[in-house]
Amino acid sequence: MKLRVLGAALAFICGAAWAQGSGKPVHFLVGYPPGGGTDFTARLVAPLLAERLGQPVIVENRVGAAGNIAMEAVAKAEPDGLTIALGVSGMTINATLQPELRFQPLKDFAPVTRLVNNPLVMVANPSFAAKDVRTLIRMAKERPGALNYGTPGAGTGMHMMGELLKTEAGINVVHVPYKGNGPLVNDLLGNHISLGIADLASTRTFIKEGRLHALAVGAPTRTELAPDVPTVAESGLPGFSVLSWTGVIAPAATPAATVESYNRHIRAILETPEVRAKLLAAGLEPAPTSVAEFREIIRSDIEKWAKVIKTAGIKLDR
């Protein structure tokens, strides 16, 4: 019995140590191009993580297929603690929307920690009649199908937020997909479309300047990035919650002690005042979690979006 206990303890210690201090680099995969908000988060964390681990942490941009190339790579990587990746909330949507994917978020990944929330906001041109969600719902019920809303694209978290709003409020508002946040925001500013859902990072400057009006954020509680903007939940739809997040994942068979070690180091990094300040300045809300909490976020999001996609009959054009 004592030998078995000792063996288990040694296995735990070895798993936690993995390759720390060995000089072998950790490959930190990012499925998006350099320079964006997702890449920014990885490059902010990587050098600080390297200091704590005592070994290089190399950010690798594996771009393509809306981030899925990097996700597939980490799913197939050796679970030796030397490969981690940025996972985004979109993967919980794609689990249902893209059944042809060669990975499953709950089966093929070991969640490490959520890093940040990227708050989503419903915004309108100042000339739009509705200044809050309650008024928007009333207008939509008075004129079913007459109103529309834009998003950065079909199948995005912004699209899911709009469809969830339609389902919970019992309204018919037409979705207009754009090719990214930039074109959507430009059309909102030019009043070519009156209403949209975007991320706060790309709209908050225009909101502060009064060039766009924020009706509500999708998060369950107000964000410190825009504390004066109400939530959809407090605007007539209690329980409404949409969080767009970025987190760290590893291959599924990565030892639990290794995952916990990463979690501890990354959470400590996110809790430093300097890192918090840089993330908030970029329009991102630091939101570290335990391993178990992050796993539950992924599980519950997959379940939520599967229901929304089925109810709304959402399909991607191929």
Distance CA 130, CA 226 (A): 19
**In contact, 40 and 6? CB cutoff 8 Å:** no
Give strand ranges (E) for the chain.
Answer: 26-30, 57-61, 83-88, 109-117, 120-124, 148-151, 174-177, 195-199, 213-217, 245-251, 285-286
Task: Determine the distance from the C-alpha atom of residue 244 to the mean position of all C-alpha atoms in its chain, rounded to a whole number.
Answer: 4
Of 169, 174, 175, nearest to 138 (Cα)?
169
pLDDT for 316: 80
Distance CA 25, CA 143 (A): 58
Q: Which residues, 6 or more positions from 45, have their beta carbon under 8 angstroms from its beta carbon?
A: 115, 266, 269, 270, 275
Burial (Cβ within 10 Å: 0-12, 13-18, ≥19) of residue 101: middle
Distance CA 233, CA 211 (A): 25
pLDDT for 65: 85
- All structural domains of the chain: 2-117+245-311 (3.40.190.150), 120-242 (3.40.190.10)
Render 53-102 in DSSP notation, one character per residue: HTS-EEEEE---GGGHHHHHHHHHS-SSSSEEEEEETHHHHHHHH-TT-S
Of 248, 215, 247, 212, nearest to 229 (Cα)?
215
Distance CA 150, CA 251 (A): 36
Intra-chain end-to-end CA distance of the chain, in Å: 59
Angstrom distances, CA of residue 42 to CA of 50, 138, 160: 12, 42, 25
Angstrom distances, CA of residue 116 to CA of 40, 46, 310: 12, 15, 28
Q: pLDDT tens, position by position, for the chain (318 residues)?
A: 444 444 444 444 444 444 555 579 999 999 999 988 889 999 999 999 999 999 999 999 999 888 899 999 999 999 999 999 999 999 999 999 998 888 999 999 999 999 999 999 999 999 999 999 999 999 999 999 999 999 999 999 999 999 999 999 999 999 999 999 999 999 999 999 999 999 999 999 999 999 999 999 999 999 999 999 999 999 999 999 999 999 999 999 999 999 999 999 999 999 999 999 999 999 999 999 999 999 999 999 999 999 999 999 998 875
- Helix and strand element counts for the chain (H, E): 12, 11
Angstrom distances, CA of residue 271 to CA of 51, 116, 168, 250, 267: 16, 12, 35, 21, 6
Distance CA 20, CA 26 (A): 10
Helices in 151-193 by DSSP H: which ranges? 157-169, 181-189
Token pair for 79: 């679970």
